[in-house]
């Protein structure tokens, strides 16, 4: 596996990978949990939201970066992160790994790559978030293996 810098022609495949990766969360977990009104209000256009977000992730002039993991059969995953140099703080925005490459340390390699890049430009702390639901359990396990400390947070929704 090769981890390389983002290039503009990555936008379409990374967008599709993101939609493929997070579809089970939005459609099979979040929607049934909160109901149609809250789902539509909060994430009813989640696919379009990702189409816009992924296209804007790589902006080095704003200290925002993307790295892509390539396997012999194509893109295995990617990580996007940003750094606030004044605060010496980094933040992982998105980590997505294709289904067939999960459980093969792609996520670990991508996170370590991003963490190292953050260190080289002065970050001392990194923030990386995920959900507390069953869908996100593998991500929580990965972040704990990477030495991250979980901060318990609760978010509540209610239809009015």
Supply the pLDDT for residue 108: 98
Q: Across all residues in the chain, what is the average pLDDT? A: 96
Supply the pLDDT for residue 40: 97
Grouping H, G, I as helix, E, B as strand and the rest as coil, residue 85 is: coil
d(CA 1, CA 96): 15
Q: Across the strands, what pairs with 96?
A: 78
**Segments making up each domain of the chain, as ranges:** 2-145
Average pLDDT over residues 15-33: 96
d(CA 140, CA 129): 8
2-145 adopts what CATH topology?
Answer: Aminopeptidase (3.40.630)
Average pLDDT over residues 36-48: 97
Nearest to 10 by CA among 46, 54, 62, 44: 54
Supply the pLDDT for residue 153: 87
As a whole number of angstroms, the longest Cα–Cα distance in the chain is: 50
pTM attached to this predicted model: 0.93
């Amino acid at each position: 596996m090769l981890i390389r810098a983002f290039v503009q022609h990555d936008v379409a495949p990374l967008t599709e990978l993101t939609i493929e990766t997070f579809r089970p969360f939005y459609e099979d977990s979040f929607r049934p949990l909160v109901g149609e009104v809250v789902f539509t209000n909060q994430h009813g256009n989640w696919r379009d939201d990702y189409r816009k977000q992924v296209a804007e992730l790589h902006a080095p002039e704003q200290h925002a970066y993307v790295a892509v993991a390539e396997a012999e059969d194509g893109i295995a995953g990617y990580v996007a992160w940003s750094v606030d140099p004044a605060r010496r703080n980094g933040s992982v925005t998105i980590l997505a790994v294709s289904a067939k490459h999960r459980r093969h340390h792609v996520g670990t390699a991508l996170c370590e790559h991003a963490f190292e890049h953050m260190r080289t430009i002065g970050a001392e702390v990194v923030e990386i978030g995920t959900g507390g639901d069953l869908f996100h359990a593998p991500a929580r396990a990965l972040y704990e293996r990477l030495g991250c400390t979980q901060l318990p947070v609760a978010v509540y929704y209610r239809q009015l």
